[in-house]
Amino acid sequence: MTKIFIGVAWPYANGPIHVGHMAGCNLPPDIFRKYHRMKGNEVLMVSGSDMHGTPVTVRAEKEGMNPKDLAEKYHQMNVKAFNDFGVEFDEYHSTDDPIHIETVQKMFLRLHEKGYLYEKEMELPYCPKCDRTLPDRYVEGECPFCHFENARGDQCEECGKLMDPDMLIGLKCITCGSTPEFVKRNHFFFKLSAQEDYLKKWMSDKDYWRHHVLNFSRMFLETGLKDRPVTRDTTYGIKIPLLGHDDKRIYVWFEAFMGYYTMAVKWADGNQEKLDSFWKNPECRHYYFLGKDNVPFHTIFWPAVLKSLDWGLNLPYDVPANALLKIGGQQFSKSRGVTMNIKDIVQHYDPDAMRYYMAVTMPENRDTDFSLEDFVTRNNSELVATYGNFVHRALSFTYKNFGQIPESKLPGNEENELKTRIEQANHDAAEFLEKCEFKNGIRTLMELARFGNQYIDTKAPWSQIKQDKDACGTTLYHSIWISRALAIMMAPYMPFSSQKLWKALGEQGNVLDAKWEDALRAPKPGTTLSEPVPLFKKLEGSDADKEVKEMAPNEIAGLEKLDLRVAEVKTASDHPNADKLLVLTVDVGDGVRQLCAGLKKHYTLEEFVGKKIIVVCNLMPAKLRGVMSEGMLLAASEGEVVSLLAPPQDAQPGDRIDGTTPAAQMTINDFATYPFQIGENRNAEYAPTGGQPQALTVSGKPIGTDKNDGPGTKIK
């Protein structure tokens, strides 16, 4: 028996778990865990809710709630969502758990004793208006690498690069929009640099990692490791277990991954041997499941901490991080309000059908796109038409004509072929699952279902029954055999329907307690069957539309909160302090405003003058590298091509986009939640998640672009 430890990235308790998170971080380890248990391996899978992160406090401030209450609310909600979706953990708690807190403090002290933590003065952004220092997500600005305008102080959500606040262009406080000053503060730093050589050696034999994980991690190491602050100025979170630091707490990035160990401590419940059997046993492999933005924390920082603790704890064996599951080309994001929540999904759809869809579209190596239309199509044409159809035909025909599993009186050569087929599927799927290739795993199993369908078609038991009952019985016996094998092997992917099938086959207990190899075993003739019910439901096209609207994220308001106007460019000049920026003055109808725009690579100054553009007029003014910007122009970008939105020919400066109003000021963060895109007809659209795209117009006339952009292009 092998032991497998599975760490699942801790989600922030700042909102309900959404489809992107489930498909990227939770469903894969759940399949992995269920499979290994069926293989007879001992598995310990842990995770929990991150209650202390800035996403939680930022959200709580927005909702006017106490962060602890807010986090607890979402923690409970997410525990239920996992449960309803069939995702099981051996331990799932929160960072408020007393054992977590105590163990994190122990680890902090140990690192301090070992000389891996030291105090150093650092510069931090400080908002004079809010009178506080601003850790990571409390500041935003333009990403210096990809020029995404709302990069956070800890990481750019668009390109995934890790940030320090002082790297951002046009840094501002997300609460009040002020430009922060920099102040000096004392903080604890983790000596990450000390483990650089060790990590290089450790990573040198990790060629079996997913390419994108390995490449990213090796590149990260190549650029050199910098020590990182592990405490921050706040009174919310885990206290520093040393005297005189009451105004600081342990940084969440440092605390959250320690949760993999703390949850094992909780699970072992004081039994050191039990704990060591997973954490110090060299035979126990450690797997970590997470999204790609989390890779360096699990391939660099966490291994470095484990090594530095010097307790002989196991380092990760594999980190099969996923790329992103997007929706309509956009990133799911709780903080940006682009979501489709599991708690809503399970109310509208069969969780197994959704688990199937996520498994076949899983972003294992590159970003993939989620759409409910595609879900409906694949549910009908694959799940229902192949797997569901096969087992239902096999079971209902047998039930009706035999009431029990018939005997195989004429096995012939085909029984050997069938055995080989099942053995092959059992072997291949296992191999894929062990390599965390979940897509290939389910494909293999669907192949077996397809074979079953063909087998029934070829044999035509409905004719056989009239001529030769023994031949018919044999065909059905074989079909039941395949169905039983599928019930077992599909169980890690689709536990609910496998259980239904298991019962219908006259089997007892929980299918997840069956052994993986038991899929090879022949069924017992004479076993009484229960009346079969179809495993899956066909969905109508309208199932995608109808439900989607109800689930459209409510954080995205209508156009009435925006003041979008036609403007005419009067002058254009270079920004004095920024290479990529230029400064425009534009007539917005009720006056002239100054804007900074990052389009220098794409337009010359001459091209700008006299041009009519679309400007967001109710953005909070902000200084970009020392120059005030009082609005933002809208442009569409696809890859390298950036083009300005072009109002209709006869539009005049000050004309408003239909549906928008002289609205109150908003932050750039709020604006970023508006899903604008270039539609099929190459015109600009407002496309709320799941809803029908709606054309952006001025006096009923469409807005195009000044270059040829294809549909789906994002507007920023």
Q: Are 612 and 647 in contact (CB under 8 A)?
A: yes
Q: Which is nearer to Zn ion, 146 or 533 (CB)?
A: 146
Of 168-176, 192-200, 541-549, 668-676, the window that binds Zn ion (rule: CB under 5 A) is: 168-176
Q: Which is nearer to Zn ion, 430 or 632 (CB)?
A: 632
CB of 55 to Zn ion, least distance (A): 17
- Beta-carbon contacts of 60 under 8 Å, excluding residues fewer than 6 positions away, are 66, 67, 69, 70, 71
Of 42-50, 154-162, 398-406, 451-459, the window that binds Zn ion (rule: CB under 5 A) is: 154-162
DSSP 8-state class, residue 597: E
Number of amino acids touching Zn ion (CB under 5 A)? 14
Which of 88, 102, 112, 178 touches Zn ion by CB under 5 A? Answer: 178
168 binds Zn ion (CB under 5 A): no
Which of 6, 58, 156, 358 touches Zn ion by CB under 5 A? Answer: 156
Which of 159, 183, 219, 460 touches Zn ion by CB under 5 A? Answer: 159
Beta strands in 29-162 (DSSP E): 42-49, 91-94, 117-127, 132-133, 139-142, 151-152
628 binds Zn ion (CB under 5 A): no
Across-strand partners of 572? 584
Closest CA to 190 of 246, 150, 228: 228
| Helices within 402-494 (DSSP H only) | 412-434, 438-459, 461-467, 469-490
Interface of this chain with Zn ion, residues 128 to 147, rule: CB under 5 A: 129-130, 143, 145-146
Which of 104, 127, 325, 535 touches Zn ion by CB under 5 A? Answer: 127
Of 148-156, 284-292, 370-378, 413-421, the window that binds Zn ion (rule: CB under 5 A) is: 148-156
Q: Cα dist. 161→41, 49, 157, 158, 292 in Å? A: 37, 24, 8, 8, 11
CB of 18 to Zn ion, least distance (A): 22
175 binds Zn ion (CB under 5 A): yes
Main-chain phi, psi angles of 534, to 5 degrees: -55, 140
Is the Cα torsion angle 8, 13, 18, 21 positive or negative in sign?
negative
- Hey, what are 645's tokens? 């939105």
183 binds Zn ion (CB under 5 A): no
Q: Are 452 and 483 in contact (CB under 8 A)?
A: yes
The DSSP annotation for 658-672 comes to: TT--SPPPB-HHHHT
Q: Amino acid letter at 268?
A: A
Interface of this chain with Zn ion, residues 660 to 679, rule: CB under 5 A: none
Please give the radius of gyration of the chain, using alpha carbons only, rounded to the nearest integer: 29
Of 92-100, 150-158, 226-234, 267-275, the window that binds Zn ion (rule: CB under 5 A) is: 150-158
Give the burial class of 393: count Cβ atoms within 10 A of its Cβ; 0-12 exposed, 13-18 middle, 19 or more buried: buried
CB of 183 to Zn ion, least distance (A): 13
CB of 143 to Zn ion, least distance (A): 3
CB of 144 to Zn ion, least distance (A): 8
Q: Which is nearer to Zn ion, 233 or 607 (CB)?
A: 233
CB of 584 to Zn ion, least distance (A): 23
Q: Which is nearer to Zn ion, 177 or 237 (CB)?
A: 177
Q: Which is nearer to Zn ion, 39 or 714 (CB)?
A: 714
DSSP 8-state class, residue 14: S
CB of 311 to Zn ion, least distance (A): 37
CB of 148 to Zn ion, least distance (A): 5
- Hey, what are 66's tokens? 């106490």
CB of 129 to Zn ion, least distance (A): 5
- Beta-carbon contacts of 227 under 8 Å, excluding residues fewer than 6 positions away, are 120, 189, 190, 191, 192, 193
72 binds Zn ion (CB under 5 A): no
Q: Which is nearer to Zn ion, 81 or 139 (CB)?
A: 139
The contact pattern for Zn ion, residues 82-121, with x = CB under 5 A and - = no contact, is: ----------------------------------------
Which of 2, 76, 114, 176 touches Zn ion by CB under 5 A? Answer: 176
Describe the chain by its helix, strand, coil percentages, rounded to 5: 40, 20, 35
- Beta-carbon contacts of 648 under 8 Å, excluding residues fewer than 6 positions away, are 698, 699, 701, 702, 703
CB of 575 to Zn ion, least distance (A): 19
The residues of the shown chain that bind Zn ion, judged by CB under 5 A, are 127, 129-130, 143, 145-146, 148, 156, 158-159, 173, 175-176, 178
